[in-house]
Chain A
Amino acid sequence: MIAPESVPRVLRNASGRPLTLSQHEECFGPLPPGAPSLDVLEASGLTGRGGAAFPTAKKARLIREQRGHGKFVVVNAMEGEPAAHKDRTLISANPHLVLDGAQYLAGIVGARHVAVCVSRDDPIMVNHLQRAVHERDRHGARGVSFELHTPPWRYVAGEESALVHWLDDNESLPQYRPRRPHILRIGHAPVLVDNAETCAHVGLIARYGGDWFRRLGTPTSPGSALVSVSGAVARPTVLEIPLGVPVRSILERAGADPDPQAVLMGGYGGAWLDARHLDVPYANDALAPLGSSVGAGVIIVLPRSGCGIAETQRIARWMANESARQCGPCAFGLPAIAEDLARLALDSRGARAAYERLVDRCGAIEGRGACRHPDGVVRLVRSALAVFAEHVEDHVQGVACPASRSTRHYSAVPSLEREEELIWE
């Protein structure tokens, strides 16, 4: 019942099982009575934990200002990033904290419905959330109804316009949104989409307030955040850390290789960070000058024995295969980029030409998809060319790189299910 002074906050639960509603209220206290307050949310300074770090209160205000009946709050628990495990870890511990946050946000924007979205390919998560939603319905949720939705798994299915498209019309395809901010809708009803972790923080802010939230973190990146650490680590782990701690300290807590070559920050659409910079604070304003960001809270550790180009190539190839293939620059550009990377990584004669094409193609496809999927790949590739510049030069010169042919991989890229569809020589 007492507000925790340090981490864990949203992961507070040592039982190893999801807390039931009564256990949850024992642990965190009930949601306070009274109307949910946008001012409290604003004072917290919370930013979205789904990747873009947009101020949560600002987004809520935009939806609150919309007219329209039957508004929705959508909880994005799709966790499409293969290297991310944070939303799953959170829901395996405190599903009701996520629902509390969604309920509070629904109160702020004037929504009656909360749609919780989780991939149907993750039956354990579906189960946890189903149970939690049932418990809510039995105990009454202050005029808010909860529904569970289970779109099929795809990387882009978690992109907010694709998710809303699914809810509206059963298609997990991103929508064209020329102007931003753009109000997503189900039928005519405006929709607020927030990541599951974002909702859990809201659940605590609702109880303990904005000032409490700011006791951890930095003035511009307040609060705590979940981080999925994988790659050269003893065991992939999810940690809750105060924002602003040195990246190195996160690696230490995760039992990572103490002397890595680089880390991939943010996820598959994120950016490599040279190990020289590991003392940088884990917060967007500190990471931005280094071309990096917190993103979806993913850190992949690449040891000195790994090949950053080969690693990037595997990710890019997988990301190319995950294109929704609605837009030409994404459908054709990403496979082309992946192929250039393969040549750079493995083909000593074609490496130089591949490198030059790669730079051109990154410039050509950036910003030209309906969603940001291709931009994520461009960011990843550009960061690889910068961080591994010396090594890129070796490949271009045809210097042998045994690591690029090794079968030991660090970025946990899933095998391609639909590889035959990929344009691939």
Chain B
Amino acid sequence: MGVRRRVGGFVLLVNPILCDGFGHCAELAPDLVHVDEWGYPIIVTEPVALANLAALESARYAVRGCPRQALRIERVHDAH
């Protein structure tokens, strides 16, 4: 079980309609998110391996810390 959960990857997704562009997520998950010149998040689009626990953890911080609940983690099956 524990092993299977690490197979595959994830992406962090933002709903741009909900997002207010204060860029909180870029502070919470700096390895996955940086902000554009207007403060809106640009998120790494390449899937990240679930085995990368640090990245997964910071993505979770961002999801929980987003004041607009605009972020979501989605599992994908292919990852590097």
B15-35 vs A, CB cutoff 8 Å, 1 = contact: the mask equals: 111110100000000000000
CA distance A364 to B42 in the complex (A): 8
Main secondary structure of the interface of B (DSSP, over half): loop
Q: Is B60 in contact with chain A by the CB < 8 A criterion?
A: no
Specify which of A336, A364, A368 is in contact with B16 (CB 8 Å cutoff).
A368
Q: Is B38's CB under 8 angstroms from A328's CB?
A: yes
Q: Is B16's CB under 8 angstroms from A327's CB?
A: yes
Q: Is A328's CB under 8 angstroms from B39's CB?
A: yes
Q: A178-B72, A178-B74, A333-B38 are in contact. Are A328 and B13 (CB under 8 A)?
A: no
Most buried by A among B15, B16, B45: B16
Nearest chain A residue, comparing its CB with the CB of B21: A328
Q: Is B19's CB under 8 angstroms from A328's CB?
A: yes
Q: Is A178's CB under 8 angstroms from B13's CB?
A: yes
Most buried by A among B17, B21, B38, B72: B17
Q: A178-B72, A178-B74 are in contact. Are A332 and B16 (CB under 8 A)?
A: no
Specify which of B17, B21, B37, B45 is in contact with A370 (CB 8 Å cutoff).
B17
Q: Is A329 in contact with chain B by the CB < 8 A criterion?
A: yes
Q: Is B39's CB under 8 angstroms from A176's CB?
A: no
CA distance A80 to B6 in the complex (A): 47
A64 to chain B, nearest CB (A): 27
Q: Is A364's CB under 8 angstroms from B36's CB?
A: yes
CA distance A370 to B16 in the complex (A): 6
Q: Is A370's CB under 8 angstroms from B36's CB?
A: no
Q: A178-B74, A364-B36 are in contact. Are A326 and B17 (CB under 8 A)?
A: yes
Q: A178-B72, A178-B74, A364-B42 are in contact. Are A327 and B36 (CB under 8 A)?
A: no
CA distance A336 to B13 in the complex (A): 24
Question: Given the complex, which residues of A lie within 8 Å of B19, measured CB to CB?
Answer: 327-328
CA distance A329 to B74 in the complex (A): 22
B-side interface residues, number (CB < 8 Å): 16
Nearest chain A residue, comparing its CB with the CB of B43: A368
CA distance A380 to B40 in the complex (A): 23
B47 to chain A, nearest CB (A): 14
Nearest chain A residue, comparing its CB with the CB of B70: A176
Q: Is A369 in contact with chain B by the CB < 8 A criterion?
A: yes
Q: Is B36's CB under 8 angstroms from A329's CB?
A: yes
Q: Is B15's CB under 8 angstroms from A178's CB?
A: yes
Q: Is A328's CB under 8 angstroms from B40's CB?
A: yes
Q: Is A332's CB under 8 angstroms from B38's CB?
A: yes
B7 to chain A, nearest CB (A): 21
CA distance A332 to B45 in the complex (A): 21
Most buried by A among B13, B18, B19, B40: B40
Question: Given the complex, which residues of A lie within 8 Å of B42, measured CB to CB?
Answer: 364, 368
Nearest chain B residue, comparing its CB with the CB of A174: B17
Nearest chain B residue, comparing its CB with the CB of A357: B37
CA distance A329 to B38 in the complex (A): 8
Q: Is A369's CB under 8 angstroms from B72's CB?
A: no
Specify which of A327, A336, A367 is in contact with B17 (CB 8 Å cutoff).
A327
Query: Considering the complex, which residues of chain A in the window 196-212 have a beta carbon less than 8 Å from any beta carbon of chain B?
Result: none
Question: Given the complex, which residues of B lie within 8 Å of A327, measured CB to CB?
Answer: 16-17, 19
Nearest chain B residue, comparing its CB with the CB of A367: B45
**B residues within 8 Å of A by Cβ?**
13, 15-19, 21, 36-40, 42, 45, 72, 74
The 4 closest A-B pairs by CB, nearest first: A327-B16, A328-B40, A332-B38, A328-B21
A-B contact pairs, 29 of them (CB 8 A): A175-B17, A176-B16, A176-B17, A176-B18, A178-B13, A178-B15, A178-B74, A326-B16, A326-B17, A327-B17, A328-B16, A328-B19, A328-B21, A328-B38, A328-B39, A328-B40, A329-B16, A329-B38, A330-B16, A332-B38, A332-B40, A333-B36, A333-B38, A365-B36, A368-B16, A368-B42, A370-B15, A370-B16, A370-B17
